Structures are given as structure tokens and as C-alpha cells.
Structure 1
């Protein structure tokens, strides 16, 4: 989105304690001449938009874990500006008295894990202001990575195992992803990854079905990889 131009990108991560004051603007304690005072300080989004105003090309703000914050509270009257992005006359007046608009070259990308129960906090008012794209584990990306890096790892056997795992999980929101295995030293790390990251996850998911869990214990996976 920003390639070949003067645009830039930035990333922030939302969390349950993230507020409107952090994102838009709010009072912050400052020290002047040894005295504590409170001033209205711009938040991350205001600062981002001020920088984007000086650019001609697209600027992208990535909000990681967007659904972990109270979005109605964090976005506030920003919802009004997200309604019609081409209306350059659409402003809001902030608490500081400043008029604010979102520059037309700003794009917002929010990421979320659909397995996270807090996805319910993404209400319809926000949903209709964003386009949604689902991204699920892609074994071909894993194959291409190991072929490109020439790791020598039997990646085709691994992807077959992952397909079996995800078929057993049988829920697209809880499928085992590929990011665990995107490492050049996978041959040395695979046992630790499987026993310390994959097995605990599967134990929690298959807590009421020990038979399925037993199919994916490390000693069986090791055997399949070496066949």
C-alpha cells in the first residue's frame, strides 16, 4: 500500500486498558518549573494523522488486536469521520477546541484473532465501517518458505501432519497456524516447538477427548516426520 511513494506505516496494539485519551487526545500530567500541571496531549492517532497530512501518498495505521479494547470508547466520535472518507469537509471538534479530520490518504488496518471471545465487542456500528478479510493457515506459504531458505526440512510431511491436526480440530477459528514453523532452524527446534507450544494448545482443545490428543503427541509426530 505504501510502496513507491512518500507514505509510511505505523503499528499500535490495543489492550483492555487502552482509552480514547491514548488514541485521540486527553489530559496528561506534565511538569513545568517543578510544578505538576495537566495538559491536553494528542494521542497516537492524532499524531499519525498530522504526519500523514504532510504526505501525498497512502499512509497505513495497523491496529493489532483491535478487538481487545472497548472500541466504542476508544474511537468515540471518530465513528462519524469513518462514515464517509471522501467527504473532506467532515470534521469533528475535539475537547481541545481543535477541528480534526482524517486525511483521505490514511488507511486503517485492524487485525484480530477470530478465536478470541472478545470479538463480540466489535459491534455492528464499527463492522459496517470496515471491510473484513478472513485469513486462515496456508500450507503453501510454509512450503515456499522452506524451499526458498533451503532448510532441508521435510516440509511436505509437516504440512500433511498439520492438515490432519486441523481436520481433527474441525473448527476453522481454532486451526493450528504455520507461524510456529517459519524458522530456518526448524530441524533443531521442532521438538521444543511441538512439546512446549503445540501439545499444550492441543491438550486444552482436546481436554475431553484424550484419544485424539494421543494421536498428536511428539513421539508419534517424530515418527511421521522421519518416515
Structure 2
């Protein structure tokens, strides 16, 4: 059968293998083959074997778009093309969290990942989207958000003294258009949702979740956009912002609420050992002691110390310690900024990546306890200098006291 261009149609995998050099020799030939084939295996061969999308770098990335918009291209092949420059690292969340999230996504249920700081909510949201979708867009909520930031809005534009209006997609309506364009799943990540007024901003979205025929927006072409199962909505929320019980009941009824906890002892230690092993043997740091420092710091923040009857200071997850190990790996190598000054580097890493995150949401009593905890750790771990973290916490306590108009207590 001949196409309108005079070429053969219904290209298959066998022809893709036989004529791959011809296909890869010219962008127009490549586009014609992709557009005319209905064989998923032919597309898979060209993408996975010959990496056809890498061979051409046209201004509009035409070959890439032809593959992504092809109705017969399998999702995993589209993911390969769309995610060339993205790394899907090992998923580190507990098994029950992963299973619950995957199930909710498969059912087309919007997801809220919630938990204390440092549990890897945003990172897991990206992993979940890359695992189940072609790709994703990410948006961070803000206090200024309106429903239009979710579903879309009509914006005025002044040019030459004339006012005109255009339609601007919101994060969800944009995701709907992406899913339509690529005829497959598209992820919409809304990060830190409690920074916005959820009950106000999510109102139109609630209706769309319950009624798949509800038009949430019309784009510039006048097309009606409705929420479908191929738009995967994944939200994150810090427990320091608001507890689940304080949320509008509307969101807990319509979203799958999945908690990322602090990880149990064995899982947490596995993470610590994995990250610390990346520092390498050439760096003059006792990695076994560093793991113990991580664990004692984590236990003291979350559960309290054996010498204190007050209990934990606040909740935090283990992901912050990965930043510490990466800092030490870079800073303490032979040409690093802290080569030969490893003890100080550990304290500087804590003062840069962990203490500020704890102090950011802490009350004055908590800040004082954080400072005391760092003093205790500084005394217990003699080979590490944690004074930078101690000083940071003490300065924060003094600033809070001045602002409250109280003296030393």
C-alpha cells in the first residue's frame, strides 16, 4: 500500500531493522517512518536499539515529538524518549508507602504525600511520576494562588493601548492538554500545597474529580478540558505546615492520603550506610562514627535523648543526611575546600543542610533544645567539630528572644 507521499505504509519491525541506516540518515525519512508505522515493536527497536530521537536535533525536536505523540508507541518507549536526561534513582520509601502510592495512581486517584521534613516527599513524587507517566510538570503552591492557578484563568493583555484577553492554563488544565497531546499519562506535581488556601484553590478541582464530565477550562482553541485518569495528580505536604486532621475534609475524601514516616531503624541505618559509603576511603573521616552521629542526631531530634525526659524535639526524616554526605565527599577530597580539615567540615555540613531546616519552623523552646542537642553531640563525638551548628542554633535562640523582648532564661 502506498501513502500519500508515495512511500510504503505499515512499516514493521523487520523493515526497521533492515532499513535502519536509511531511516537514520535523514530527518524527513525518519519522520515518515515513525508517522506511517503502526507496529509498536518497530518504534521500540528504533528508540532502544538505534536511539533515533538522539540522532536528530531539529529546532522543534520533530522526531522526538512524533514518537511522543504516536498512538501506537508504548508508554515505556515514550518514557525512554522523554526522560533521556532524567535519572530515576532507587526508590527508597518503605514498601507499604510505595505499594499504596502505586495502587492509588493506577486507580486514577489523586495523591497527597505527607509527613515530616526530610522524608523525601518531593523526590518520591518525581519518582512516582516518572515511573507511571511519560513525564511530569511540577508547581510549588503559594499564598497568592487562586483557583485559576489550578484550573486556568482569563488574563488581560494591553498592547498598543488596546486591551485583549487570553486564556492561561492552570497546572491541572495544562496537564490535561499534555496528556491529550501525548495520548498517555502525564504527571502533575503540586508541591507544598498547604502554602495555598486549599479549600479555596482546590474547589473547582474537587468537582472535576467527582464528575469526569465537568469542564474545568476551555483553552485558547475553545476545546473543553475535563479531568481524565491519564492525568496523575501528586501533591506533597509537610506536617510542619498543618496536620492531616486540620485539613479541609474535602481533600481527605477525594485524595489518597499517603504518609511518609521517619522510616524504621533498619531501613534508616541502611540509608545511612549507603550514603556514607559514597564518601570513599580516601577521605579522612571515620565513616562508622559518622553513621553513629547521624543516628544519635536523628534519635535526639525525633525521640529525645536518654538523658532527657522531655521526649522528641520535632519530627524529621533521614533524607537531610544525604546532603551532608555529598557535601563531605566533595569538600574533603584532595582538592576540596575542607581537605585536611574534615572535623570542621562535618560541623559545617550540619550547619548548612540540617540545622537551618530544623530551626526554620522551631519555636523558642525547641530552638533551645536543638542548641543543647548539638552541644551534647559535640561533646560525645570528639573527632567531629559540631560547633558551627551549635553557634547557629544559639544565634537563632538569641534572635528569637530579642524579638520577643525577653532576656536570657
Q: Same fold (TM over 0.5)?
A: yes
Is residue 152–residue 169 contact of structure 2 (8 Å, CA) maintained in 1?
A: yes
- Higher RCO (C-alpha under 8 Å, 6+ residues apart): 1
Residue of structure 1 in register with 2:185 after alignment: 58
Q: Normalising by the residue count of structure 1, what TM-score does the alignment of the two structures yield?
A: 0.76
Call closer, same or farther: CA 1:211–1:20 in 2, change over 3 Å. Answer: closer
Q: List gaps (5 residues or longer) in structure 2.
A: 1-74, 80-133, 304-311, 333-337, 339-344, 386-409
Query: Against the structure 1 CA distance between its residues 117 and 99, is the aligned structure 2 distance closer, same or farther, given a 3 Å change threshold?
Result: same
Separation in structure 2 between the aligned mates of residue 197 and residue 92 of structure 1, nearest angstrom: 44
Query: Where does residue 5 of structure 1 map in the other structure?
Result: 78
CA contact (8 A) 2:140 2:190 kept: yes
Which residues in structure 2 correspond to 1:18-167 (within 5 Å)?
A: 18-83=145-210, 89-92=212-215, 94=217, 99-117=224-242, 122-135=247-260, 136=262, 138-148=268-278, 150=280, 152=283, 153-167=285-299
Q: 1:52 to 1:210 in 2, by over 3 A?
A: closer
C-alpha distance in structure 1 between counterparts of 2:354 and 2:163, whole Å:
50
Unaligned runs of 5+ in 1: none
- Structure 2 SS opposite 1:112: strand
Shift of 1:162: 2.3
Aligned to 1:16: 143
Per-residue deviation, residues 117-175 of structure 1 (Å, max 9, x unmatched): 47666322111222233323634234223435636554432232222223222249622
Deviation at residue 215 of structure 1 after TM alignment: 0.6
In the TM superposition, residue 114 of structure 1 has moved relative to its aligned partner by 1.3
Structure with the higher fraction of residues in helix conformation: 2
Name the Cα RMSD after superposition: 3.4
Supply the distance in 2 between the matched residues of 1:14 and 1:206 (Cα, whole angstroms): 27
User: Partners in 2 of 1:208 and 1:224 — Cα distance?
Assistant: 20
Tell me the residue number matched to 2:349: 193
1:223 counterpart = 2:364: no
Contact 2:141 2:190 in 1 (8 A): yes
1:61 CA drift (Å): 1.2
1:109 alignment partner, SS class: strand
Q: Is the 8 A contact 1:62 1:108 kept in 2?
A: yes
**C-alpha contact 1:67 1:121 (8 A) present in aligned 2:** no
